[in-house]
Structure 1
């Protein structure tokens, strides 16, 4: 839960705790129709019981079970002293959090203990100790308390179940998106590895053919084989454990030279892209592919969530790191939401996966001045 939302909820709990305490202090000072006080004990004891009923509610999110026990004990005491004039609202608030925050193995026994204690205290207080009601009336009040506490617990238990189901579904979607992204990366890596192996095979054939006639050319071919082998092995280590699906469409590997095509496609979709690329020579194909896919995913998100708008793409590939920054100005006012949220889909998780594969960093989020920003940093060492 976000810290800001937590603070709001704790503030609401504090307000409820103070209101319940003040209400029970008022109950302790009530008088009957004949002018005699309903509660005949010392006023300080009434205030103490009021504090024990209300104040624990302020910390019910931190210690739900302990708060339920404390509140239940105070309410039972108040019932026996004929103080309460409400159906155990504090116990209902505590029972809701117990069902919501505690696992069933603890929340169910807590409910099983709470209901008979609460209903028994109400019945005894109403019908035996201070018989303001007949047996039927006392049973009715106890039934109302049962309804309040049981209903609050049931609501919390239902909300907990729905949240758990939503969390499981989100995990399944995240795992499925991660698997799909890894498969896409594996298909792309196949192109790089197959290209490198083809080059190795050609150079090995050249070296074998001219080894005796032209040793210098043979050594040059072996040098190319060594460099190409190291590059291919580095790419394979980065994707160790990722398997390639059969029948995947193969094609040329996108590189930085094709970023202009992305900008043109985005322009046709309503996004004016300002593209700036500063790259040193000799970037590995895998690195160029990663940069291309990250920019592609980011621009796709801009088209999907903010078009028509303006977008700035900056790629700086030099020592000591590769910097990729994509920022947009957000959607026009006519279709701008109240709060700019993270784009949906799997684009962000795909970009994060690619950045993590190279040991880089990934950040994305709304900009204070409006729009959205994606920032990726990749280490340049080993990519040259």
Structure 2
């Protein structure tokens, strides 16, 4: 059985929503009381006081819904930030502590805007992350212009402007970049999962092809031979029918094992065949009328994945001989070790495929299977027949 890689996604949606609510609650608990007190004691007109309080509540509420509705939350937060930028300077005790009146945009609740920008960048489809970034940069410009003459800053002139511009632009770009990183990572994880699913589908398709093609070849061979033999030797009918029934049962067992991986339950499946099953495979082909010589070294320590691949290569190669070679053709199977690993060779004397015939799905499946375990496969005419040779590292 080939190895599979499990890719872990970002987790349940409800867990992310719960974390977003927890973040919103933490921000509201830590920074909202400071801003609320500063506005209430800020000595501004009643209308502006009400507008500022609504803006503060809105920007914190937008954080709570940013994961579920990133665009709507960002729009609410952007409008709230515009109110903070446009409002007159705040006075009162906090202004006295700061050294002068200051713009409400300096309230700590403005940091919530970075969370909203991150949410759009991480969760919204294109082109909204870019639109949100442009909006954030415009907001940075408005903030710098609004706070240009802030007299309470310890730094003055271009130094204050440079610090303010770096903080606002840097925070905006950083929030957007972090959101893009998360979106890119999730897309990459989804692509890995999709690729893994596609690889698994191809693997199952190869297995199904090998099982069905081999079993049908044996059944058809026995049925055709039985039609001729039974007329002359009726006593052989039970033997031929039993071989057909046994081949069908074995095919059904392998198909159930393959299709079991597609079910959601954890029902055990039958083990996949390996090198130890090659003698039985060869015997079935012999019973079907194909003369097969089999020679194998001691291969007890071959990994299961390599053993399954070798089994499928021999199975497909012998099935092709039974289906396409001249009547009375024979085949030789050799499985042994060499310095490069495991070597599998199947040679027949039944003549090459018809001129101009395109490689079938079976040959393509064999090559893909061997390459999946790090090996290589060669197939082509040799002498009066056809040879398939595979090498797989151990």
Normalised to the residue count of structure 2, the TM-score between the two structures is: 0.51
Kindly indicate whether residue 49 of structure 2 is the aligned counterpart of residue 28 of structure 1. Answer: no
Post-superposition, which runs of at least 4 consecutive aligned residues in structure 1 deviate over 6 A?
none
Structure 1, residues 302-338: CA drift from partner, whole Å, max 9, x if none?
A: xxxxxxxxxxxxxxxxxxxxxxxxxxxxxxxxxxxxx
Change (3 A) 1:8 1:101: same
For the aligned residue pairs, the C-alpha RMSD in angstroms reads 3.5
Change (3 A) 1:87 1:154: farther
List gaps (5 residues or longer) in structure 2. Answer: 1-10, 88-102, 270-394
State the number of aligned residues: 237
Pick one of 362, 365, 371 that aligns with 2:264: 362
Change (3 A) 1:123 1:159: same
Task: Choose 201-210 or 67-76, whichever is displaced more.
Answer: 201-210
Aligned-partner Cα distance in 1 for 2:108–2:170? 13
Pick one of 130, 135, 150 that aligns with 1:108: 130
Structure 1, residues 105-138: CA drift from partner, whole Å, max 9, x if none?
A: 221122112211x12331233236x765665335
List gaps (5 residues or longer) in structure 1. Answer: 31-36, 236-283, 295-350, 365-373, 377-384
Change (3 A) 1:70 1:7: closer
Mapping of 1:361-380 within 5 angstroms? 361-364=263-266, 374=267
Structure 1, residues 33-67: CA drift from partner, whole Å, max 9, x if none?
A: xxxx3655554333212112211110001121221
Aligned-partner Cα distance in 1 for 2:253–2:71? 56
Aligned-partner Cα distance in 1 for 2:73–2:157? 31
Task: Choose 55-64 or 201-210, whichever is displaced more.
Answer: 201-210
Aligned-partner Cα distance in 2 for 1:123–1:132? 15
Residue in 2 that maps onto 1:280: none
Kindly indicate whether residue 140 of structure 2 is the aligned counterpart of residue 123 of structure 1. Answer: no
Normalised to the residue count of structure 1, the TM-score between the two structures is: 0.52
Aligned-partner Cα distance in 2 for 1:102–1:123? 28
Change (3 A) 1:41 1:94: same
Shift of 1:16: 4.2
Shift of 1:228: 5.5
Change (3 A) 1:38 1:131: farther
Identify the structure with bigger relative contact order (alpha carbons < 8 Å, sequence gap 6+). Answer: 2
Residue in 2 that maps onto 1:287: 252
Change (3 A) 1:285 1:153: same
Greater C-alpha radius of gyration: 2
Is the CA contact 2:35–2:108 (under 8 Å) kept in the aligned structure 1?
Answer: no
Change (3 A) 1:171 1:106: same
Change (3 A) 1:197 1:355: farther
Is the CA contact 1:16–1:58 (under 8 Å) kept in the aligned structure 2?
Answer: no
